[in-house]
Amino acid sequence: MRLGQEVWRTRQEVRTHGRPYTLGTFGRNVRALVVQFGPAEALDSQLIRPTLMYWLPRWLHSVPQGILVAKFAADITFYIPAIISYELSKRKLRKF
């Protein structure tokens, strides 16, 4: 879904400059998304989220509360690196 949104936005951008959307442009779209979400997703799915989902219900002595707190904590630890990666990469990787 995110790739589709990014492709749509980029197609509109290159059309306003009178250029075609090419396979190379698509590759740059994919690269930008991998740089933005790749490290955050790897940490989130392999380490942070499973650890929080296991330990927080135990520490809080409540499965529903532990899962809810773990979900919010994992989301925060996912989006902070994703936002930082986006901001650092938007000047170099999002010029079409």
Distance in angstroms (rounded) separating the CA atoms of residues 15 and 17 = 5
pLDDT of residue 93: 75
31 CB-near residues (< 8 Å, 6+ apart): 93
Tell me how far apart the alpha carbons of residues 33 and 71 are, in angstroms, rounded to a whole number.
Answer: 23
Report pTM: 0.71
Looking at residue 8, its pLDDT comes to: 92
pLDDT tens, the chain, 96 aa long: 788 898 898 999 889 999 999 999 999 889 988 988 999 999 999 999 999 999 999 999 999 999 999 999 999 999 999 999 888 888 777 776
